[in-house]
Structure 1
Amino acid sequence: MTGLTARIRNADNWPVPEAVLTVTDSTGRQIGRAVADGTGTAATGALPPGLHTAVLTAPGYQPLARTAQVSATGTGSLGDITLVAVPESVALPLSGPWTIDPVHSTVIATARHLGISSIKARFAEIGGRIDIAEPFERSRGYAEIKASSIDTGIGMRDDHLRSADFLDSERYPLISYTGNGLRRTGSDTWVMSGELNLHGQRRPVDLDVTYGGFGPDPWGGVRAAFHAETVLRRDDFAIDYNAMVRAGVAAVGTTVKLDLDIQVVQGEQLPQM
């Protein structure tokens, strides 16, 4: 049976999915909890009748408390609830196209080696764009990386990583990511949901994004900065190299951490430097 319900919106009347509704009794004991769905609707299970305290929270929004009346049937409604966003720490970039600057952007992949250390590889060739929307959460992005541009500083190792054991860069020359919107998690942090195309496999991948701000550059343009990171499992992308050494210890770890530091320039083209 449904208990206490609430329809949670932001100041622009958009739903706030994943907002949390928590209900406590007069002693402060939690008696109900629910997470809002994609429409911003949260519904607990049946609750004891009486007056209770309902607290609504969501990343990037100020917490809100309400008194909730629950009927003898264990149900009640808070109706429409508007959450107020936490003031932004930095101004957001202007809407429109922004182009990735490959000279001032880096992509680093980190994998465990022999279970005791890490190996870092840099991808030197990256391109793409971000289309900033209003509201910002509707922004989309596209990035592509040339697989053969991987560089660990050791030629023999780089050749192995380009081979069919790993990236198979001759067969799959491009690694691409398409981002389909953002979900705010803090004053300057978001999660971008999207799809990664790697080694001939397409998988949904979320990026944890931190926004660094925007401003003019020395070449007459305006640029913005973002840091993004995620962790991938190699076997999700059919990269199943499993050389074992030292009594069963894997030569290369099963997960790879990606760190992206991206600068984008406002407009469809990069300025001349």
Structure 2
Amino acid sequence: MAASNWNLDKSHSGITFSVRHMMITNVRGSFNDFNASVSADPASLSDLDATVTIEVGSIDTKDEGRDGHLKSPDFFNAEQFPQITFKKTALVSKGGEDYSLTGDLTIAGVTKSVTLNTEISGPAKDPWGNTKFGVVADGAINRSDFGLTWNAALETGGFLVGDAIKIHIELEFAQG
């Protein structure tokens, strides 16, 4: 199979995150509007080219007030920086379906190199004859590295919002 373009199947894809809240639990959220462009030969991923674009305004933590605060200049500043982007810079096989995926992650105008533990599965034919492959990526970033430093001290010590953000990405692609 030669390198070709792959289309994101949004109905089988998701981007979620979690962050420590009050040092006792995690708040989970997702981004509901995102896209990915991929050019790849799944049989030989060495030349894979991939970019993911996330619309900050689509953040959803199941709390409208919190979502509004996250879009504000205290956090993502969605009006000035409406998108988060990830552009692949390296993909290293760890054997089988396991990879180390490195890319430039840009949040609120700050770009940092981030490495995610990644599984790439496929290609496989679905029941309708479409060729598909899947990507599952997990990792963590420090929000302060991207200038997202707003916080509030707790009277019992510690802070309202943790610095570590856990990221979970599941994407399914159809050959275009």
TM-score range, shorter chain: over 0.9
- Return the match for 1:156 from 61, 65, 69: 65
Amino acid at match of 1:132: A
SS across alignment from 2:46: helix
Q: What corresponds to 1:201 in structure 2?
A: 110
SS across alignment from 1:128: strand
Q: What corresponds to 1:191 in structure 2?
A: 100
Residue 82 of structure 2 corresponds to residue 173 of structure 1: yes
SS across alignment from 2:95: coil
**Taking structure 1 as reference, are residues 213 and 94 closer, same or farther at Cα in structure 2, changes over 3 Å only?**
farther
SS across alignment from 1:249: coil
SS across alignment from 2:150: coil
Q: What corresponds to 1:127 in structure 2?
A: 35
Amino acid at match of 1:108: T
Q: What corresponds to 2:150 in structure 1?
A: 241
Shift of 1:186: 2.2
Shift of 1:194: 1.1
On the 8 A contact 1:129/1:264 being kept in 2, the answer is no
Residue 26 of structure 2 corresponds to residue 110 of structure 1: no
Q: How many residues align?
A: 175
Higher-helix-fraction structure: 2
Normalization by structure 2: what TM-score?
Answer: 0.92
Shift of 1:94: 5.9
| Structure 1, unpaired ranges of 5+ | 1-92, 268-273
Give structure 1 regions of 4+ aligned residues with deviation exceeding 3 angstroms.
217-220
On the 8 A contact 1:138/1:180 being kept in 2, the answer is no
Shift of 1:169: 0.9
Q: What corresponds to 1:263 in structure 2?
A: 172
Question: Which is greater in Rg?
Answer: 1
Normalization by structure 1: what TM-score?
Answer: 0.61
Query: For the residues of structure 1 that align with 2:115 and 2:159, how far apart are their CA atoms?
Result: 27
Shift of 1:231: 0.6
Query: For the residues of structure 2 that align with 1:221 and 1:122, how far apart are their CA atoms?
Result: 28
1:1-273 aligned within 5 A: 95-133=3-41, 135-218=44-127, 220-267=129-176
Shift of 1:197: 0.9
Q: Deviations over 1:142-161 (max 9, x none)?
A: 11000010101111111111
Which protein has greater RCO, CA pairs closer than 8 Å, 6+ apart?
2
Query: For the residues of structure 1 that align with 2:153 and 2:7, how far apart are their CA atoms?
Result: 42
